[in-house]
Structures are given as structure tokens and as C-alpha cells.
Amino acid sequence: MKPDHIQATAIKRDDSPFHEGELEIQERVGVREQIHQYAPRVIRNYMPDQHRDFFAGLSYLVVGVVDRGGWPIASILFGDEGCISSPSPVELVVQAVPVEDDPIAVAIVGGADIGVLGIELHTRRRNRMSGRIFNISDQGFSIGVMQSFGNCPQYIQTRFVDQIVPRTSPVRTAPTDVTKLNKAMQTLVAEADTFFIASAYQHDPEDRRSGVDVSHRGGKPGFVEILDETTLIFPDFSGNKHFNTLGNILKNPKVGLVFPDFQTGDLLYIQGEAGIIWHSDLLDAFSGAERLVSIQVKRARLLRGRMPFRWHFQEYSPALAFTGSWQAAEAMVGDNNWEPYVVRRIVAESATIISLYLERQDGEALAPYRPGQHLPICLSDPTGPDPIRRSYSLSTAFSPNHYRISVKREERGRASALLHDQVQPGSVVHAKKPQGSFFLETKTGNPIILLSAGVGITPMIAMLNALLAEEMYAPTKRPVYFLHAARNSDEQAFKKLLKDAETLWEQVSVFTAFSRPLDHDIQGQDYMHEGHFTAAVLESILGQVIQNSAVNVYLCGPSSFMADMTSALTALGVSGDRILTENFGPASLPAIGEMPDAEVVLLRSGTAGIWSSKDGPLLDYVTEKGVDVPYSCRSGSCGSCRTRLVAGTVKTLVSTNVPLADDEILLCCSVPDQSGDLGTDTGKIILDI
């Protein structure tokens, strides 16, 4: 019979639908307050009519239960059309049964907790429910609803049922449970783009937040990495931020997985212990992934051809275009050498800025990056014997197919002149992996302010693209304020992109300032403010949002613009640790002043000489000696000129977020700090160049 305590009642607004594990993770990643603004309204202890109708249209159901040993099992039950019904909002009747030899069969018992995922692969719709089993029969069972809520379609691949296989089958040999994944099992995992995972938190049978959950995981084929025959690892992509699965794992690491092979009908069941990897360099390879999850396999069972349905693959989820791959992860952590890239396309973004689309010449996976980082490139200069090395901000969110850099023609810039005048589609340039400490942090729910001037717009466009991609597949409604200063409409890049973003996304607000508008530029249409951004202008645009909430500010432009905007934002109440800046050029360095001369030895070049204050930073001194070293920003931002200091002491002119080893310096912002006697080893500056 139906449990007496299950009845349709509204959950109070101040009641959290989450248990302590889910709450702990929400708190850890900074979304608890954001989620609780709406979660009590959408996580119900009954099914709304649209959910009831949705389940009634299914002929298969993903479920999760816990076996007698306390291990979750994930599985798929199959039935005929109309096999699922809902007599009331708090009850689901399931006339679908496990396939032959399914390990879940012995765990479906009266009073057991169960997690349910209804999923339509051809429409990519899904709804979740958790409850308790009652009224078991040979044809199925009923479920009393404990919690019910909908899910977004991201990461679900589109498939259509194109064959129904009769359930009657030849006598099969009973499957053998194993503790290590054999070759056939590993092949199925390696080719999978979908699996389902069951987890459990059974703290209090009277608490609706206790129970079993089963959820979908999707990615590009191979998104589950096989480290060895007992260890799997997969990226945990951003989702609804409820953290049902991870919250369970935090309190109980036991999980059950099922991998379906939609073409052959095979089912691979795995039980194991899950671990959450919060920090890893490999995360940068997976856009949208916020952590990794590892599985230590304890038991596995492979059933051949048991599913009565076969599915025809239609297309991958659009969200997968941004998710990266383990191949990209390997590219990221491998050697950082200069590699050839082909320029596939060149697009004029304004009268002075072009975008170049670069693809690896060898077709290998691109190393991923965070929006805001830059790409070091090396160009052959036909007018000189030495190559030119520069770094340019990547101007779009990560794409697995290409890098895009956007370059302004500088009046006396050799590199920009080459890129504008000499490089054509089909040309080859060399590049290293993206790098840089200036990048977007998406793990907070704070409003975002993107503030730029001139070509400083390029990393901001990458950040905006990343935010919009996140919003498309994991909506947060986080406000984004995009403020940009340019001379006029001819010199403003990405005008259409900004206009479309503001039109299509209600949380995006764009404000432009033109210092020298053209006759045809219309205020209120082409630009909002004539002149420069000032403290008063910022206050009129941002004053209220800054007063009402913590904000994260990203700032990029000329050094004077950066200084003025930082002062204005600080005066408005934005704390310095929430203003992240990117600036390029030696003008951003403070004056050196008078300093004692120092002997500088370039070890590998066999060059030595006396440095004086007039020589400027060590980068200028080294290049004046005719020694070729990589560099780009010349302001301590990009890290291209990172060099090993063999002996001596240097003074750093600016603070930098570039990660350096104890014996490394940045040539562009370092000068000798003469602390010993001239001519002695302690007084020498010895560089590994």
C-alpha cells in the first residue's frame, strides 16, 4: 500500500529541499544563496501535470536503487507504450521490468528508496523524481513521490528508437561479475557519450531530502577516461547547481553506473567508490567543467544485447562544442613548444582591428584556455634576420576547432604590420599554448563588469562569449555590464556582436563611450556617452549595482585608462581584490630612477656587460645586446619573457600574477638590485640566456 506520509503539499519557501551534502557543496562554490532564490519553488514533493504527462509518454525509465550491501545500482527498465502512468500527483505506476540478469532486479523491494529519471532522447527532455517503492507485482511497481523537478537538456545526445527487439531470446550464459574492467568493458566506456549514475544519501527515512538519485551524464565519445582497469575519471560539467549527485557522494562515496550501447543493446553495470577532484590543471581542458570525478571500480557486469530497443544517433548536444576533450588535456600538459598553425580566415572587425582564425597544421587537438588569456605567436620577418615574438589576447571563448586572435594595427608595430599586410589565409605562423593569469572566473554568482578601451576589448569579448555560452546551457541570469571606450564607430570592434548580445540576453547591458564621434555617429544609438569614462559616468551606470551586491570587475586598456578606472571603481566601493586587470606595454611600468650599475652576464650567449639605469628593464638591455628572447606584453602580464636567474638579485617593478619558480624572473619588469661588490659573483646578475 501507499505510504501514509506521502501527500501533495507545498514545500514552504524557507524550507531547503537540499540535504547537508548538497548544501555544503553549494556553499563551497558560492551559489547557495542564488539557488535558494528559486529552488524551493521548483523542487516539489509532487509531480505537476506536465511531468505526469511526460512520464506517461515513456516506454523506458532510468532508475537507481540501493542493494542489500548498501551499493547503489543504476539501470534502465523497459516496457510497452503506455507502461507508465500517474494516478495522482504523488504516485507513479511503472509497468516496466529489468532486463534478464539485470543486477537491479533483486533490489526492487517494497519500501526501498528509488531515484527516477525520465528521459526522451529524441527530444532531449528529462525530468527527475525520487520516492519510495510500494505495490510490487510481476508487471512492475508503484512509487510514492518524495521530490520532483525538471532538468535542462544540455549534454543529451539526440537519438531515435529505430528497432524493437523481441524480449524472447536464446538461452544465455549467466554473466560473471568482475572486479576489473576487461577489454570489452573498456571499449564500451571509451566509446560512450552517455551514462547514468546512481547515488544515495539515506540519512532519515522520514526526511524527503534523503533517498536515492539517478542522473544523466553526457559528453563527447571518450569523455570518460580509463586510467587503468579499475579507475575511471570524468569531468563534471556545470549544470543546475543543485549538486544532487555530488552532494550524495560527499556523504556516501558509493555509486552505481550503467553505460548503454544504443546500437548493440549492451549494458555495462559498474559499482564503485567515487571521489571529487576539486582542483586539477586538467580542468582547463574542459570548458564548463568545474571539477573531476573519479570512480574506483569494485564490481562490473556486462550484459550483451539485452536492451529491447536500438537507437539511431541523430546529433550531439550543441553544448559539447565547448566541453573540450582528454586529448586537449594531454595537449595542455605536454611540452610547450612552438607549433605551426595555418591562418584559415581573416575578418576585419573595425578600421584598425582584424581577427585571424588559426588551426593547428598537424590537425592535433588544440590546447584549451580560459577566456582572457593570450596566445604567444612567432612570425618570420622578411625585412630582418630575427623572428618576431608577440602575444595577443584570444578574442573568443574556447573552440575545439580554432584559436582566434584580434590584432590592432599599431603605428610603429612590426608584428601588427606583418599580420595586417603580409599574412594571408593559408599563411603559417607559429604559436605556443595559451597562457596568462588574466582570465574570467565563473564559479561565483556575482554580477560581472567588463570594462575596456581600444584594443583592450579583445579579452572582454572572449569573456562575454564564455558567459553567454554558460547562460545558454546552465542559466544563472547573472547580470553582465559591458563598458567599452573607443574613438568612434569606425574604430570600435565587434559592434554587431555587442548589439546582438544586448538584444538577445536580458541580463546583458552594453555601454559605449566615443571620445571623437564621427558626424554620422548617433548618440543613444551608436554610443551612449561622448567623451571618456569618468568616475561620475561609472557611478551613473554602475553605482546601484555596486551598492547592492559584490561585483567582479575585469579591466583592460591603456595604462592611464586602467589607473583612472581603478581609482573610480575603488571610490565607488569595489574592493581591490575584485578588480582584475590586464595591461600591455612598457608605459605601464613605473620609472626606474637612479640605481647602481651592475654587471650582467648572459650565460648561454657568452655575453657580459655593465647595466645602468638608462638601459631600462633587463629585457631592453638583453635585446639591445642583440640577443633574441621571447617577449610580448612588456608589462609583467603575459609571462613570455620568463627567464631563469642563475645568480644575483633583481628588483621587480610591478606586482604580477604570472606563476614563477623561485629562480625565475620576468625580464620585462625586472632590473638589477646591486647588493654585492661590482665584479664579484654575488654582485653579478647571471641569466640563463
Rounded Cα distance, 90 and 131, in Å: 9
| Strand partners of residue 224 | none
3-state secondary structure of 486: strand
| Strand partners of residue 114 | 131
Are 321 and 290 spatial neighbours (Cβ–Cβ below 8 Å)?
Answer: no
Read off the DSSP letter of residue 243: -
Contacts 24+ apart (CB under 8 A), 523-532: 526/489, 527/489, 532/485, 532/561, 532/564
Rounded Cα distance, 272 and 231, in Å: 9
How do residues 401-412 score in pLDDT, each as one tens digit? 899 999 999 877
Identify the pLDDT of residue 2.
Answer: 46
In 1-59 the beta strands, taken as DSSP E runs, fall at: none
Q: Region 343-353: what's the mean pLDDT?
A: 96
Identify the pLDDT of residue 665.
Answer: 94
Identify the pLDDT of residue 583.
Answer: 57
At a CB cut-off of 8 Å and minimum separation 6, what does 532 contact? Answer: 485, 513, 515, 561, 564
Which triple of cell numbers denotes residue 152?
535542462
**Averaged pLDDT score across all residues of the chain:** 86
Identify the pLDDT of residue 387.
Answer: 74
Q: Region 528-537: what's the mean pLDDT?
A: 94
Identify the pLDDT of residue 129.
Answer: 93
Length of the chain: 689
Are 59 and 80 spatial neighbours (Cβ–Cβ below 8 Å)?
Answer: yes
Identify the pLDDT of residue 587.
Answer: 47
The pLDDT of residue 249 is above 80: yes
At a CB cut-off of 8 Å and minimum separation 6, what does 315 contact? Answer: 157, 158
Q: Region 548-572: what's the mean pLDDT?
A: 88
At a CB cut-off of 8 Å and minimum separation 6, what does 434 contact? Answer: 367, 368, 369, 373, 374, 375, 394, 403
Ranges 44-58, 503-517, 634-648, 658-672: which has the least confidence: 634-648
Q: Please calculate the CA angle 402-406-407 and round it to the nearest 5 degrees.
A: 135
Which triple of cell numbers denotes residue 521?
555617429
Ranges 10-14, 365-369, 466-470, 662-666: which has the least confidence: 10-14
Q: What is the pTM of this model?
A: 0.59
The C-alpha cell 574570467 sits at: 440
Read off the DSSP letter of residue 456: G
Which residue, among 672, 624, 627, has the nearest Cα to 645 in the 3D structure? 672
Are 655 and 437 spatial neighbours (Cβ–Cβ below 8 Å)?
Answer: no
Q: Region 415-440: what's the mean pLDDT?
A: 90
Domains and CATH numbers, the chain: 20-326 (2.30.110.10), 335-431 (2.40.30.10), 448-584 (3.40.50.80), 598-687 (3.10.20.30)
Are 271 and 299 spatial neighbours (Cβ–Cβ below 8 Å)?
Answer: yes
Which triple of cell numbers denotes residue 195?
551514462
Give the torsion sign (CA, 549, 553, 559, 561). negative
**What is the number of alpha carbons within 13 Å of residue 452 lying toward its C-beta?**
24
Identify the pLDDT of residue 604.
Answer: 84
Q: Region 85-102: what's the mean pLDDT?
A: 94
Q: Name the more confident of 472 and 512.
A: 512
Rounded Cα distance, 499 and 568, in Å: 26
Rounded Cα distance, 526 and 181, in Å: 61
How do residues 117-153 score in pLDDT, each as one tens digit? 999 999 999 999 999 999 999 889 999 999 998 877 7
Identify the pLDDT of residue 29.
Answer: 78
| Strand partners of residue 484 | 452, 512
Identify the pLDDT of residue 299.
Answer: 96
Which triple of cell numbers denotes residue 490?
569606425
- Distance between alpha carbon 436 and the CA centroid of its chain, in Å? 16
Q: What is the DSSP string of 502-528?
A: HHH-TTEEEEEEESS--TT--BTTTBS
3-state secondary structure of 580: strand
Identify the pLDDT of residue 162.
Answer: 85
Q: What is the DSSP string of 335-401?
A: ----EEEEEEEEEE-SSSEEEEEEEETT-PPPPP--TT-EEEEEE--TTSSS-EEEEEEB-SS--SS
Q: Region 524-536: what's the mean pLDDT?
A: 94
Q: Region 46-74: what's the mean pLDDT?
A: 95
